[in-house]
Amino acid sequence: MIAILARRDLASAFQTPLAWLLLAAMQATLAWIMLRVLDRFTGLEPLERSAGLNLELAHNVFGSASVLLLLAAPLLAARALSQERRDGTYAMLAAMPLSPTQLLLGKFLALALLLLALCAPPLLLCLSLIGAAPVDPGLFVAAALGLWLSGLLFAAVGLFAASLTAQPALAVVIAYGLLTLLSVVNRAEQIAAEQTSLLDWLAWNQHLFWFLSGVVRISDLVYFLLMTTMFLAFAHRRLANLYFR
């Protein structure tokens, strides 16, 4: 059932211009950023370079890609859930022999696969340098993994926001609000000098940073897994409660 739901959502994203537009926008923006990074490297002597090409590329290209995913994932999630509620198709699904868990996981699986496709442009762009420069594929694969995990977190937050309202636009705004909070929560450190390790831990960008540096740490994997599961659990609660609304 989960696969059936996911297949429809995924097909729908590629049957409409949505997925293609996102892929094209991603490709164009990241290609521009990559060219700028490469531009800085051409003509410089090795001693004049402050950082390696691989790290520069990973931080700039994958870092920008993560911001693009942060913008795209809530839109996709609102489309997957809020829009179904607004257009009345949710009523049909609710009358079918499906549990809220299956429904939610079906939606999440489709988003996860779509985001996986969106992780391809930065990875392929960076790997296209193989043969022309000393590229470290392992670093880029780690960065792509971190990017995808961040995308999953954004999608889970998006689904939770979409479970709160049947208005897609409102769902997107709520999701952006939550994600902004999760992005700047560690900035409190700059205001208060006290220990802010928990707030620091809560911010997603701290964890993505390690992946972009080519370091896959269990603690970062656990962070993304925990936070994604938590927002999915919130969304599940909301969907189960829709029956009792």
Q: Which residues bind another protein (CB under 8 A)?
A: 1, 4-5, 8, 11-12, 15-16, 87-99, 243-245
CB nearer to another protein: give 99 or 229.
99
Whole-number Å distance between alpha carbons of 166 and 86: 5
CB nearer to another protein: give 92 or 191.
92
- CB 228, min distance to another protein, A: 25
Q: Of 118, 131, 153, whose CA–CA distance to 30 is shortest?
A: 118
CB nearer to another protein: give 92 or 193.
92
Please list, residue by residue across 210-238, b when 16 or more beta carbons sit within 10 angstroms of its beta carbon and e when fewer do. Answer: bbbbbebeeebeebbeebbeebbebbbeb
Handedness of CA 198, 204, 206, 210 (dihedral sign): positive
- CB 88, min distance to another protein, A: 4
CB nearer to another protein: give 29 or 102.
102
- CB 95, min distance to another protein, A: 4
Please list, residue by residue across 105-122, b when 16 or more beta carbons sit within 10 angstroms of its beta carbon and e when fewer do. Answer: bbbbbbbbebbeebbebb
CB nearer to another protein: give 12 or 183.
12
- CB 213, min distance to another protein, A: 41
- CB 199, min distance to another protein, A: 38
Question: From the centroid of its chain, how far is CA 114?
Answer: 10
